Amino acid sequence: MDISDTNETHPKDVPTGPDVIQGYLKTLDTSPGVYRMLDAESRVLYVGKARNLRARVSNYARPTGHSPRIARMIAMTASMMFLTTRTETEALLLEQNLIKQLKPKFNVLLRDDKSFPNILVTADHDFPQIKKHRGAKKEKGAYYGPFASAGAVNRTLNQLQRVFLLRDCSNAMFESRTRPCLQFQIKRCSAPCVGKISAEDYGQTVRDAEKFLTGKTTDIQARLAAEMSAASEAMAFERAAALRDRIKALTQVQTAQGINPQSVAEADIIALHMDGGQACVQVFFIRANQNWGNKDYYPRVGPDVEAAEVLEAFIGQFYDTREPPRQLILSNEIENPDLMGEALTGKLGRKVELLVPQRGEKAELIESALRNARESLARKMAETATQARLMKGVAEAFGLEGPPARIEVYDNSHIQGAFAVGAMIVAGPEGFMKNQYRKFNIRGEELAPGDDFGMMKEVLTRRFKRLIKEDPERKEGHWPDLLLIDGGAGQVSAVREIMEAHGVGDIPMVGVAKGVDRDAGKEEFYRTGKQPFALRHNDPVLYFIQRMRDEAHRFAIGTHRAKRAKSVGATPLDDVPGVGAARKRALLAHFGSAKAVARANLSDLKAVEGVSGALAEKIYDFFHERG
């Protein structure tokens, strides 16, 4: 891949528009590649791909014949950058990767890019564990997914436990059991930890669970029915009843799953609905002829973007970091179906089909997904309209120049100063912006226990130092239009001092304090140099502020609990260089406790599976040098 960088520093009066683009034509050939259009301040406006860079750029050099969106983009273009590629497929993949990184203003942008959870059947134990897994597939075992949400995984795990009685406890918990746990009592586990089932029989239930996850349920039911009949004839009525319960649970699972297409074994159903310059893409995950959940997405689009462009951009960005299924069943044609199919096939290592069905079961699946997309977008638009009214109400209540685009709310959480954390949540025109939430581990060792003023000072100091460093011109949209803090006149005065010390005293800030009787609904609002005031008890703006404050409190408490739990599970082994999670588990399993590891002699440490001689010496030296 060749890179030609034509980005420069531009003066404020730098020329823009078609003439600037025309100037690049003499430097371009007919190679495929990716181009970037930049404004006068070198911000990326648009990323595009081309089979023929010279031909594509010449289209932008025309003064007329463009849609309003493209015309605005051309008028703002002050420079361009080009990356040539060997093939158009490579250009497509690079384009979608750059769009996700750079988030250009004029591209269709997928804003939610979280990974999806899977079910993992582990392979590192005689009695495999079944559990939820998210992230890189580094652990040994068989992975099944993706599922649309953690809720979909949890429901399936719950069903699998009812039917197959597989353990979900950790290996450490398994090894420490001396009697069955509650899961055995409620018939959700066969208690292999205490020998209630043999390794051979447990292995058969694991194989059955894996068959279920690959859609082979008929074989399982037939075998269970035969076993039940045999147990009944042998007058083993307790076993026959247990098998009957498993068959009944399996039937209930199959009934509860809803859409279970017969002709679609593995596919993502992707339906797009657009209305009023907004879009919703609904994705259903079909694996092993089973519906493993659905999720809606709201890509950023413009008012004059065609459906084919939106859907192609969505698919390219959606599968940039995900493995595609064998089929994508789409509601609309996309601009380059053959090219996208080739790119996804290369990614998966086997053929990926893109289908736009007109009839049959696949068309019915698309119609169902489209209905969901229409309903989801209607709800989203209604919520957005309500949110816009609330933002306008906030501006009026606190005398702001206009509706805020970004409200930041801060809170602290600790237990008498221990495990102290600060939390920031963000609300905007579309509701809570959870990808903008931030947590702060309180570092100030000189702080007195429970010093909320000191904690807030540290949090805000760190927040604004970073903002000033990363975006001193306040152009990236990460600067707040309003700060809400928990507290009254004292907190407002202290925060104002912090902000003025950092040169950001112009940002409006309001303290939210409970009334004299601490009742929710009687909050008082404090601003610098003004009398405190309250809003009407039934004012929607008051409810909105309460909701933001409660969300900040929820996030702070959750962060604090996670920090405390991590600390409770910590051991001195965490500080030993070279001892990761796997070796830590091995050492604890071998010796029983971190204290026993610390007392162990060198030969005993070397006897632990997975611990080399060099690491054993490192562990021994660590504890004995400290002692």
Closest CA relative to residue 440, chosen from 575, 566, 563, 548:
563
Share of the chain above pLDDT 90, in %: 39
DSSP string, 37-88: EE-TT--EEEEEEESSHHHHHHHHTSSSS--HHHHHHHHH--EEEEEE-SSH
**Amino acid in the structure at residue 106:** F
How many residues comprise the chain? 627
CATH of domain 266-378: 3.30.420.340
pLDDT digits (tens, 9 = 90+) for 33-71: 999 999 998 999 999 999 999 999 999 999 888 988 899
CA distance 439 to 434: 12
Closest CA relative to residue 455, chosen from 464, 465, 468, 446:
446
Are 271 and 297 a contacting pair, CB within 8 Å? Answer: no
pLDDT digits (tens, 9 = 90+) for 107-125: 999 877 677 889 999 998 8
DSSP string, 281-332: EEEEEEETTEEEEEEEE--B--TT--HHHHHHHHHHHHTSSS---SEEEESS
Provide φ and ψ at 271, rounded to 5°: -120, 135
Element housing 99 (H / E): helix 88-102
Mean predicted confidence (pLDDT) in 402-414: 89
Q: Where are the domains of the chain?
A: 2-102, 118-256, 266-378, 407-566, 572-626
Q: Cα–Cα–Cα angle for 545, 109, 346, nearest 5°?
A: 140
On the question of a common fold for 266-378 and 407-566, the answer reads yes
Helices 88-102 and 337-348: crossing angle, nearest 10°? Answer: 80
Using pLDDT thresholds of 50, 70 and 90, give the confidence band for residue 566. Answer: low
pLDDT digits (tens, 9 = 90+) for 421-468: 889 999 999 889 988 999 888 776 666 666 677 788 888 888 999 999
The fold of the 407-566 domain, in CATH, is Nucleotidyltransferase; domain 5 (3.30.420)
Q: Answer whether residue 280 shows pLDDT above 90.
A: yes
CA distance 131 to 160: 10
Contacts with 417 (C-beta within 8 Å, 6 or more apart), sequence order: 447, 448, 449, 450, 451
Using alpha carbons, list the distances in angstroms from residue 97 to 47, 48, 54, 330, 479.
10, 11, 22, 22, 26
**Tokens 């290592």 map to which residue?**
349
3-state DSSP helix/strand/coil percent for the chain, to nearest 5? 45, 20, 35
Are 303 and 70 a contacting pair, CB within 8 Å? Answer: no
576 three-state secondary structure: coil
The fold of the 572-626 domain, in CATH, is DNA polymerase; domain 1 (1.10.150)
Using pLDDT thresholds of 50, 70 and 90, give the confidence band for residue 10. Answer: very low
Mean predicted confidence (pLDDT) in 122-138: 88
The encoded tokens of residue 162 equal 């009812």
**What are 178-187's contacts with CB under 8 Å, separation 24+?**
187/162, 187/245
The neighbour count for residue 84, using CB atoms within 10 Å, is 19
Are 324 and 352 a contacting pair, CB within 8 Å? Answer: yes
Question: What is the bridge-based pairing of β-strands 278-287 and 407-415?
Answer: unpaired
204 three-state secondary structure: helix
Backbone Cα Rg of the chain: 30
Are 254 and 217 a contacting pair, CB within 8 Å? Answer: yes
Sign of CA dihedral 258, 259, 260, 266: negative
- pLDDT value of position 599: 84
Please identify, in words, the CATH class of the domain defined by 2-102: alpha beta
- pLDDT value of position 569: 56
Mean predicted confidence (pLDDT) in 531-543: 89
The encoded tokens of residue 625 equal 């040098």
